[in-house]
């Protein structure tokens, strides 16, 4: 039997044609083994534009009609966060595998219900934590696992720009999920406490600048700065180890990751304060070689592979739930003046596991 005959051709529907939706359509159209069968949006101008680009794809203004008529295997949801839960629930109840953009839902309770529903129906539920599928982040995880930078001590992340202002979520819910998903993947653990401070300068009640602190076991921590009020666009994360440090600058066109052979050493003993001196080590830096693949394409291929094999995605519903729990704690901390919020222990899958080692569902 030929490969074409043995590999099923999955039909994908995309709900939402704002910023991310068209990118999903483009990428799934480029992946072998699937076809974009339907596009849904309530904006007639956006639908007309998509119809010109993809004249063979069915166009719908109503989600229920699309689910009933389009003969789809899976649905991608690229809508405002407030709609994620209701639309994902309807798609799962209709027997469709679901890829939903970040954050997964507006509350952890909604996330838990979607996870339970997907497991009851044996369907793949995946969250669009796109950076986990980017080559720079995958390479950084590999370098840290190999021990090249020594013991990872802390992570500092900045995601800053001017706009785009949201009206239903604050900047932490909008921008920080990218950074938090990377931090969870690198540390391979859940934070113990969350602090969040911020302010709303443009729209009352919706913070446009936030600073998040996450404390982890073994005295490790991470900070995340998010802003819609910066004159420069910044996408930079620093990973500080006991031997070396990594700087990840996503705005660099080619050299996104650089490893610095720098560190600070404390003297093992000293007799007086005058004898106490830190030792600063400055060595060479190197740039790891990276493959240049669009993360959204890698994510799309992984989604289809999980549908075929029954493997749980790297960014499965449990990781989506963990991220929303952290965002909820951020909102609580903001409301309490920035104080620490303890995260209750939760049994969930290890976000740093390899896909192949995860519990398998029954294949589609």
Sheet holding 97-101, edge to edge: 58-60, 34-40, 10-15, 74-77, 97-101, 125-128
pLDDT, average across residues 2-17: 75
Q: Is the model's pLDDT at 280 over the cut of 90?
A: no
pLDDT at 357: 33
CATH superfamily of 133-364: Dihydrodipicolinate Reductase; domain 2 (3.30.360.10)
Distant-in-sequence, close-in-space partners of 155: CB < 8 Å, separation ≥ 6: 182, 183, 186, 187, 222, 223, 237, 238, 239, 240
Helix, strand or coil for residue 119?
A: helix
Q: Quick check: helix, strand or coil at residue 346?
A: coil
Count CB-CB contacts under 10 A for residue 270. Answer: 11
Distance, C-alpha 191 to centroid of its chain? 16
C-alpha 137/C-alpha 145 separation (Å) is 12
Q: What is the mean pLDDT of residues 126-142?
A: 97
Write the Ramachandran bin of 33: left for phi over 0, alpha for psi from -120 to 50, otherwise beta: left
List, as one string, the DSSP characters of 144-173: HHTTTT-SEEEEEEEEEEE-PPPSSS-HHH
* More confident position, 176 or 3: 176
Residue 40 has pLDDT above 90, yes or no: yes
Cβ neighbors of 217 (< 8 A, separation 6 or more) are 189, 192
pLDDT band at 115 (very low <50, low <70, confident <90, very high): very high
- Compute the distance between CA of residue 114 and CA of residue 124 in angstroms, rounded to an integer: 11
pLDDT score of 22 more than 80? yes
Band the pLDDT of 270: cuts 50, 70, 90.
low
Q: Please say if the pLDDT value at position 351 is more than 90.
A: no
31-35, 133-137, 216-220, 265-269: range with lowest mean pLDDT: 265-269
Half-sphere CA count of 240, side-chain side, radius 13 A: 11
| DSSP letter (8 states) at residue 130 | G
Which pLDDT does position 282 carry in this prediction? 72
Judge whether residue 275 has pLDDT over 50.
no
- DSSP one-letter string for 238-279: EEEESS-EEEEETTSSS--EEEEEEEEE--S--SSGGG---E
> pTM for this one?
0.89
What's the pLDDT tens digit per position in 199-243?
999 999 999 999 999 999 999 999 999 999 999 999 999 999 999
Tell me what the mean pLDDT of segment 299-310 comes to.
97
pLDDT value at residue 262: 77
Give the pLDDT band of residue 265 (cuts 50, 70, 90): low
Strand partners, 249: 236
Start-to-end CA span in the chain (Å): 20
Q: What is the DSSP string of 64-113?
A: HHHHHHS--SEEEE-S-HHHHHHHHHHHHHTT-EEEEESS--SSHHHHHH
Which element (helix H / strand E) includes 221? strand 220-227
User: What whole-number distance in Å separates Cα of residue 201 and Cα of residue 303?
Assistant: 39
Share of the chain above pLDDT 90, in %: 82
Q: Is the pLDDT at 353 greater than 50, yes or no? A: no
Return the DSSP state at 343: P
CA angle 60, 63, 66 (to 5 degrees): 55
Picking from 265, 286, 285, 284, the residue whose alpha carbon sits closest to that of residue 276 is 265
Residues 167-201: tens digit of each pLDDT: 889 999 999 999 999 999 999 999 999 999 999 99
pLDDT given at position 285: 85
Q: 3-state DSSP helix/strand/coil percent for the chain, to nearest 5? A: 35, 30, 35
- pLDDT at site 276: 52
């Amino acid at each position: 039997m030929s490969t074409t005959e043995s590999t099923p051709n999955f039909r994908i529907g995309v709900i939402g044609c704002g910023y991310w939706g068209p990118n999903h359509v483009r990428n799934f159209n480029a992946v072998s083994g699937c076809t974009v069968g339907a596009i849904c949006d309530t904006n007639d101008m956006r639908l007309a534009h998509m119809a010109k680009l993809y004249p063979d794809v069915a166009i719908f203004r109503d989600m229920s009609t699309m689910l009933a008529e389009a003969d789809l295997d899976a649905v991608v949801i690229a809508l405002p966060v407030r709609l994620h839960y209701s639309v994902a629930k309807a798609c799962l109840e209709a027997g469709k595998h679901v890829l939903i953009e970040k954050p997964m839902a507006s509350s952890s309770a909604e996330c838990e219900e979607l996870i339970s529903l997907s497991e009851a129906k044996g369907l793949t539920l995946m969250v669009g934590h796109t950076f986990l599928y980017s080559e720079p982040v995958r390479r950084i995880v590999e370098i840290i696992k190999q021990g090249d930078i020594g013991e990872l001590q802390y992570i500092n992340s900045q995601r800053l720009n001017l706009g785009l202002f949201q009206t239903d979520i604050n900047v932490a819910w909008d921008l920080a999920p990218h950074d938090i998903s990377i931090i969870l993947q690198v540390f391979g653990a859940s934070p113990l406490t969350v602090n969040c401070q911020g302010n709303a300068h443009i729209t009352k009640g919706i913070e446009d600048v936030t600073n998040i602190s996450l404390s982890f076991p073994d005295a490790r921590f991470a900070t995340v700065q998010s802003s819609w009020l910066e004159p420069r666009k910044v996408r930079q994360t620093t990973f500080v180890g006991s031997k070396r440090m990594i700087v990840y600058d996503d705005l660099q066109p080619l050299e996104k990751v650089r490893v610095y052979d720098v560190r600070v050493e404390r003297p093992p003993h000293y007799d007086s304060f005058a004898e106490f001196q830190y030792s600063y080590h400055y060595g060479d830096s190197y740039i790891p070689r990276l493959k240049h693949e669009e993360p959204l394409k890698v994510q799309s291929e992984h989604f289809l592979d999980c549908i075929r094999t029954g493997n749980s995605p790297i960014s499965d519903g449990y990781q989506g739930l963990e991220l929303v729990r952290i965002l909820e704690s951020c909102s609580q901390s903001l409301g309490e003046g920035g104080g620490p919020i303890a995260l209750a222990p939760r049994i969930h899958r290890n976000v740093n596991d390899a896909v192949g080692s995860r519990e398998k569902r029954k294949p589609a």
